[in-house]
Amino acid sequence: MPYKHNADRRHHIGKMKFRVTNWREYEAGLRQRGSLTLWVTPEALIGWRAPRRKTRGGQARYSDLAIETALTLGCVFGMRLRQTEGLLHSLLTLMGLKVPVPDHTTLSRRAQKWEPSARRNRPLPNGPLHVLVDSTGLKVYGAGQWLEEKHGVKSRRNWRKLHLAVDADSGEIIAHRLTDQNTDDPSQVAPLLDQVDGEIDQFTADGAYDGKPTYQAILQHSCTATIVIPPRVTAVACCDTGPPGQREKHIAAIASDGRLKWQAVTGYGKRALIETAIGRYKAQIGRRLRARSFAAQQTEAAIGCIALNRMLAGGRPESLRHQVRQA
């Protein structure tokens, strides 16, 4: 980190400590994540089978709800499709429900065509949002990188990039996109914002998103949004006539007061919350994708985000910074 204050002496600076104020509720939520309690509502039983088609072609046996239920169980418990089929079959048998269970072949095929029927996340809070955006890499199932590094064998399986937009107040994932590894971050700002229904009060991202296209995409969505993106070291102010834009003000403030003060004034430190969300995704859902086709991988990432939001709703820590008493 080239812009850290006292970078050469930071190993002597004490790490900030936080205290969880709702430990009892948070601990109960963590235990609930591992619960195998499963209930099926009468509405779910009615909608388990796919409605009969009136057009030409074969008749689907399972609805999207049944496919999503099976894929969600496999995502949460980290199982392959065959094991997911066995788990769902055993659970429904123990519950005494005589409903058909999708086999692993059906799950693999339908995962490539699955689309969410409605919004699965909790409603967004009223009022403008503070949106945090970042991306991370997910490995594709298979040897891939190891073969290339160890034996020099070129692999067709590379990486996927998961682009996330997170609500800074709740920590929930409010938008996501899965692309190939060659897709740049600024090009995904507009598709992410298209999934956000509410107005944006502040948009925060790292320096990879710096540039005019990003600013234009954000202001087209919310014309009054405050954009906090650190300009590059070589960034210069635009020569256009007229009042300076937000990017030009950032460049002038950093040149005048330094980058550290600019981060404190703009609240750039909140960007660490999306790093926490990415770490939560990789710890709970996984660092690699199990599906083989790109369409099924998009479904897997989407269901992973939905499941992660449900886990977060079950229990989230409320932390306060520990104040050091002065002697």
* pLDDT tens by residue, 163-186: 999 999 888 999 999 999 889 999
Q: What share of the chain in percent tops pLDDT 70?
A: 83
Residue 137 domain flag: yes
Q: Is the pLDDT of residue 155 over 70?
A: no
Domains contained in the chain, number = 2
- Asked, for residue 320, whether it belongs to a domain, the answer is no
The Cα 110–Cα 103 span in angstroms is 11
Does the residue 294 lie in any domain? no
Strand 18-20 and strand 319-321: pairing? antiparallel
Considering the entire predicted model, what is its pTM? 0.85
Q: How do beta strands 200-204 and 173-180 pair? A: unpaired
Domain that includes residue 273, residue range: 129-289
CA 17 to chain centre: 26
pLDDT of residue 327: 46
Tell whether 298 is covered by a domain. no
Listed range (23-37, 87-101, 143-157, 190-204) with the worst mean pLDDT: 143-157
Q: Are residues 55 and 82 in the same domain?
A: yes
Q: How far apart are CA 228 and CA 246, in angstroms?
A: 8
More confident residue, 282 or 198: 282
Whose tokens are 């989230």? That residue is 316
Residues 195 and 136 in one domain: yes
Whether 156 shows a pLDDT value over 70: the answer reads: no
**Which domain-ending residue is among 77, 110, 143?**
110
Residues 45 and 171 both lie in one domain: no
- Asked whether residue 47 is domain-assigned, the answer is yes
Q: Is the pLDDT reported for residue 211 higher than 50?
A: yes
Q: What is the mean pLDDT of the chain?
A: 85
What amino acid occupies position 62? Answer: Y
pLDDT tens digit string along 75-120?
998 899 999 999 999 999 998 988 999 999 999 999 998 887 555 5
Contacts of 153 (CB under 8 A, 6+ apart): 147
Residue 99 shares a structural domain with residue 169: no
Are both 106 and 138 inside the same structural domain?
A: no
pLDDT of residue 45 exceeding 90:
no
Task: Compute the distance between CA of residue 120 and CA of residue 72 in angstroms, rounded to an integer.
Answer: 12
Question: Do 142 and 281 share a domain, yes or no?
Answer: yes
Q: How far is 120 from 173, CA to CA, in rounded Å? A: 11
pLDDT band at 1 (very low <50, low <70, confident <90, very high): very low
**Within this chain, do residues 96 and 140 fall inside the same structural domain, yes or no?**
no
248 lies in a domain? yes
Structural contact between residues 200 and 221, judged by C-beta atoms closer than 8 angstroms? yes
Backbone angles phi, psi at 75, to 5 degrees: -70, -45
What six digits make up the tokens of 145? 């990188």
Look at residue 58 in the predicted model and tell me its pLDDT.
76
- Asked whether residue 133 falls in the same domain as residue 96, the answer is no
Q: Which pLDDT score, from 0 to 100, does residue 149 have?
A: 61
Query: Do 272 and 200 lie in a common domain?
Result: yes
Domain boundary among 78, 110, 142: 110
> For residue 324, what pLDDT is reported?
57
**Do 270 and 146 fall into the same domain?**
yes
Q: Give the CATH number of the domain where residue 145 resides.
A: 3.30.420
Rg of the chain over all Cα atoms, to the nearest angstrom: 23
Per-residue pLDDT tens digits for 215-235: 999 999 999 999 999 998 887
Report whether pLDDT(142) > 50.
yes
What average pLDDT does this structure show over 34-61?
A: 83
Residues 89 and 137 in one domain: no
Of the residues 256, 271, 289, the one at which a domain ends: 289
Decide if pLDDT at 123 tops 60.
no
> 315 or 287: whose pLDDT is higher?
287
Average pLDDT over residues 283-305: 93
> Is residue 60 packed enough to be buried (19+ CB in 10 Å), middle (13-18) or exposed (0-12)?
middle
**pLDDT tens-place string over residues 260-269:** 899 999 999 9
Does 306 reside within a domain? no
Contact between 174 and 129 under an 8 Å Cβ cutoff? The reply is: yes
How much of the chain is helix, strand and coil, in % rounded to 5?
Answer: 45, 15, 45
Question: Using an 8 Å Cβ cutoff, are 202 and 238 in contact?
Answer: no
Please report whether residue 178 resides in a domain: yes
Helix crossing, 246-257 with 259-266: angle to 10°? 130
Residues 95 and 135 in one domain: no
